[in-house]
Amino acid sequence: MSGSAIFDVAIGIVFVFLLVSFICSQISDKISQWLRWRAKDLEAGLRSFVAGENNQDLVNTLYDNALVKSLVPQELRVTELLKKTPLRRFVYPGVNPLGIPAKTFVLALLDNVLPGDQGSDAVDKLLARVALLPDDSPLKSSLTSILKTADDKMDTTREKIENWFDSTMYRSTVIYQRNMWGLSLLLGVIIAVSLNVDTIAVGTNLWRDSALRTAVTSAAAKYVTDGKPEDAYAQINSINLPIGWQVEAAPAILGRTFTPIDWATRPREQPAGFGDYISKLVGWLITALAAAQGAPFWFDLLRKLTQKG
């Protein structure tokens, strides 16, 4: 086989990873919405990185601001139903926003946490009010440093606080993404097994079938330009990739002589022996691990591959 064939196989496998990642992302985002995990991690981030672990009252004061309250989404019907089931222990109970823009945070901070007039000496007065915050609050030490370098200009102060809040809450986003990785991996396993997305079988078929390679690379290039995440499942079906199941009857285990399956010609059949099961398990695991990396990673890699090709 030529180097071009190897390159096309790589494009095809990355394309499959991208589409499976999109499906995982869509499902995991829905689960996160239903269970309010974004709101949970936002509150945890505010408590850890802004107010301090022992200053829940400070967090509650921020949440009491009218502008912050207006960000609270309407409770989803699925969330209401989950609260009535044993799964309610996984649902975040707080009625809080999923995110707080930096400008809104600064307004809530100045209105509720550090209220006062905004006269010509506003920065000095604000510094005096910050001194009254709990000593173990990251907010106190950070605001003190910001205010001392604000040049007595309130506009500069607001901008610096906004930048600090964005950079601080980015850590909360990283923690959320880390937690979602585990969910994505679980979903990747479920999707890989249920749809029989076996990386080894897919790669073998792409390697041996030049027509399939051409169709997949063409679809990949088009998808990079015009594709939408919601079209992921339709794309998988339209290309006729060697995924899915074709089961006519359950295999008889006792007294059966197992013949290894040629995954290039029979990729959708049930495994017929120990070696086939091992191959399937490894193929599914590779797919699941790839899906957990996230669609943006695979989309960027696919874009580079198709542009290079």
Looking at residue 286, its pLDDT comes to 96
Mean pLDDT of 229-254: 64
Last residue of a domain, one of 121, 150, 182: 182
With a cut of 90, say whether residue 188 has pLDDT above it: yes
The tally of domains found in the chain comes to 2
Q: Tell me the residue range of the domain where 75 lies.
A: 35-182
Q: What is the mean pLDDT of residues 219-239?
A: 73
Decide which of 182, 198, 217 is a domain's last residue: 182
Q: Are residues 47 and 137 in the same domain?
A: yes
The least confident of 82-86, 131-135, 274-278 is 274-278
Query: Binning pLDDT at 50, 70 and 90, where does residue 130 land?
Result: confident
Residue 232 and residue 23 in contact, taking contact as beta carbons nearer than 8 Å: yes
Cβ–Cβ under 8 Å, residues 15 and 303: no
| Average pLDDT rounded to a whole number, residues 281-304 | 92
From the list 277, 267, 272, 218, the residue with the least C-alpha distance to 241 is 267
Domain boundary among 165, 182, 199: 182
Q: At what angle do helices 295-308 and 210-226 cross, to 10 degrees?
A: 110
pLDDT of residue 268: 58
On whether both 78 and 200 belong to a single domain, the answer is no
Judged by average pLDDT, the poorest of 204-213, 248-257, 296-305 is: 248-257
- Whether 259 has a pLDDT exceeding 50, the answer reads no
Regarding whether 157 and 98 lie in a shared domain, the answer is yes
Please give the residue that has the higher pLDDT: either 178 or 119.
178
Per the structure block, which two tokens stand in for 210?
């030049």
Return the higher-pLDDT residue of 131 and 186: 186
170 shares its domain with 252: no
198 in the same domain as 300: yes
pLDDT at 119: 57
